[in-house]
Amino acid sequence: MLSGLFSRSAARAADFSHLDQASVEFREVVKRYGDHPVLKGINLSIAPGEVVAILGPSGSGKSTLIRLINQLESLNGGEILIDGKPTGKLTGTALRQLRSRVGFVFQQFNLYAHLTASQNISLALEHVHGWKAPQAQERALTLLDKVGMVEKAEHYPAELSGGQQQRVAIARALASSPQIILFDEPTSALDPEMIGEVLQVMKALAHSGITMIVVTHEMQFAREIADRVVFIDGGQILETAPPEQFFRHPEHPRARQFLQKVL
Ligand code: ADP
Ligand code: MG
């Protein structure tokens, strides 16, 4: 299933030990903004530990699709199940619990500017998850080490490059030991020379066992790392296939058109 440069054994040498995993299932999921339908009945089952790349043109509904999973958006129809259980519409503690199981990495990093790299990780553990400060700090350093950022633990986001900020954001997303991690175009805001270091961390994560859903325009990354590609356009899944099949023989005309533009 995995091909190219990154075999399972090579990835084992990278820095993530075994992480937990959970399944995600969309059943007839519908999302509208006002009268404007953006997801029109999504059915998608993602197995525990699966690495899925979501591809599709701008405005097709990719961000909305993953933002529904940890309820950054609420759905208008259908349901989303995690490990077979409907998540429903959550608030308060239940919403925090869901978000501790589902990490999210944004295109724009979204680090707190007034906090150091290490505080960006430890403060959420203290204030949201009730950890004691010393344990939270230790966990922050452990995670920063895994993404190669421990030397910058006391630096503020403004003192870090985009690639470094995004690696801190990945460490932060892992702080609560999620079983699922979602990425929304994590390299799109980066200068080209910084994309590689972020993809490298993501490759290691892809082999850690965690369930991973990545919205990306990095076709080579999707091809090498994803177990499956999901192509979405106009709020619908038009094709889902193993990457080799999708990139060599896309079946849907819109997928072919999309690939001609981006490859
Ligand atoms: P993608 O991530 O594939 O570019 P999005 O999920 O961001 O697509 O957006 C899908 C559609 O929903 C687009 O037409 C977009 O303009 C619209 N949309 C996204 N977010 C909002 C919002 N908060 N309010 C209104 N419309 C939105
Ligand atoms: Mg988007």
- The ligand minimizing its distance to the Cα of 34 is 1
pLDDT of residue 11 exceeding 90, the answer is: no
pLDDT above 90 covers a percentage of the chain that reads: 90
> Which residue puts its alpha carbon closest to atom 22 of ligand 1?
33
Distance 60 CA to ligand 1 centre (A): 8
pLDDT of residue 5 exceeding 70, the answer is: no
Q: Which of 9, 123, 20, 26 is nearest to 77 (CA)?
A: 26
Distance 1 CA to ligand 1 centre (A): 32
Confidence of residue 15 (pLDDT cuts 50, 70, 90): low
Which DSSP category does 183 fall into?
Answer: E
Neighbours of 158 (CB within 10 A): 9
**Per-residue pLDDT at 262:** 92
Helix (H, G, I), strand (E, B) or coil at 29: strand
Ligand 1 pocket by C-beta < 6 Å: which residues?
A: 33, 38, 56, 58-64
pLDDT of residue 186 exceeding 60, the answer is: yes
How many Å apart are CA 226 and CA 3, to the nearest integer?
A: 10
Identify which has the larger pLDDT, 240 or 12. 240
Crossing angle for the helix pair 133-146 and 162-173, to the nearest 10 degrees: 130
List C-alpha distances in Å: 105 to 1, 47, 240, 247: 25, 20, 23, 25
Q: What is the pLDDT of residues 30-55, one digit of tens each?
A: 999 999 999 999 999 999 999 999 99
**Per-residue pLDDT at 17:** 78
Q: Six-digit token pair at 47?
A: 């197995």
Q: Which helix (H) or strand (E) holds 36?
A: strand 36-46
pLDDT of residue 10 exceeding 90, the answer is: no
Q: Which residues contact 167 (CB under 8 A, 6 or more apart)?
A: 147, 148, 149, 197, 198, 201
Beta bridge partners of 182: 104, 213
pLDDT of residue 14 exceeding 60, the answer is: no
Whole-number average pLDDT of the chain: 93
Identify which has the larger pLDDT, 257 or 8. 257
Q: What is the ipTM of this complex?
A: 0.98
**Per-residue pLDDT at 129:** 86
**Per-residue pLDDT at 61:** 98
Distance 158 CA to ligand 2 centre (A): 24
Q: What is the pLDDT of residues 119-176, one digit of tens each?
A: 999 998 999 889 999 999 999 999 999 999 999 999 999 999 999 999 999 999 999 9
